[in-house]
Structure 1
Amino acid sequence: MDDLMKDRIDLLIDYIMKHCLWQFHSRSWDRKRQNEGILTKTTQLLCDEPVDLGTPADKCYWVDAVCLADAYKSRYPWLKTMDKDDIKALMGALHERLDHLTITGSLNLELTDQHY
C-alpha cells in the first residue's frame, strides 16, 4: 500500500472515529456486521451502484452509509477523481483497518464477554 492510500485511509478513519456512533457497538459480532453492512453500502453509493434494501438491517445500514458517503464526498474531493476500482480498493483497505481498530485490535473486553 502506498503512502497516498495510507493517508487517505487515515482521513476516512478519522472521520468515522469522530463522527460515527455506530462504531461503538458493544459486541464484536455486532461491530463486524455493522462495519460490513455500512462500508459495503457506502462503497456502492460512492461507486453509483445499486444498493440492496431488502431487509430492515439493510435499510438501517443504508441510512448510515448515505450519511457517510455524503460526508466523504463533501470533505474529500479527491474521491471524485478516483475510478470505481480504486474506490473499492480504498474502501476495502478502510474496512480492514476499521475492523482492526474496533474489533480485533480493541482492548475492550466487553466485545468478547459471552454473558454480555
Structure 2
Amino acid sequence: MADKVAELYKFFQQRYLWQFYSRAWDRDENINGILDKLPVIFSGGQPEVADTLKDRAFYAEARIVAMEVTERYPWVKDMDVSQLKSTIDAVKEKIIDVTITKSQNGELNIQNY
C-alpha cells in the first residue's frame, strides 16, 4: 500500500493547488473536503453533499480528481472501499503533514486574515 500512497501523493502534489491555499485552516478544509469524498466516488457511490456552495465545490473537484486518478492509476478500480479509504486517508495524512504541520510558512497561522 505504501507504493500506492506514494504514487497518489506525488500526483496530488504535482497536479492540485487546493492544498497550497494561503491559510492553514483553508488548506485543511480543502484537503479534507475533497479527499473525504473520493472513496465513495471511486466505489461508484454518491457521497453526502451538503447544500452549501463550498461543499458542492468540494464534490465537483473530487469528481474531477477521481476521474483523473482512475484514468492514470487503473489499480484504483480493483480496490475495495476499505482499501480505498485507508489509501486516501494515508495520502491525506501525508499531504496535511507536509503542507500544514511541517510547513515553514509563518503566514499560515496568522489569525487576522
Q: Distance in 2 between matches of 1:41 and 1:55?
A: 15
1:6 equivalent to 2:23? Answer: no
Match of 2:64 in 1: 67
Q: Distance in 1 between matches of 2:97 and 2:60?
A: 23
> Between Structure 1 and Structure 2, how many residues are aligned?
112
Q: TM-score, normalised by structure 2?
A: 0.92
After the TM superposition, which segments of 4 or more aligned residues of structure 1 sit over 4 Å from their partners? Answer: none
Q: Percent identity?
A: 35
1:103 equivalent to 2:106? Answer: no
CA contact (8 A) 1:52 1:58 kept: no
Listed as ranges, the matches of 1:13-92 within 5 Å are 13-53=9-49, 54-92=51-89
CA contact (8 A) 1:22 1:34 kept: yes
User: Displacement of 1:80 after TM fit?
Assistant: 1.1
- Structure 1 segments unaligned to the other structure (5+ residues): none
Provide, for residues 26-45 of structure 1, a one-character-per-residue CA deviation record: whole Å limited to 9, x for no partner: 00011111111000112221
Provide, for residues 28-76 of structure 1, a one-character-per-residue CA deviation record: whole Å limited to 9, x for no partner: 0111111110001122211222222321111110111011101110011
Higher relative contact order (CA 8 A, sep 6+): 2
- Structure 2 segments unaligned to the other structure (5+ residues): none
Q: Distance in 2 between matches of 1:113 and 1:11?
A: 32
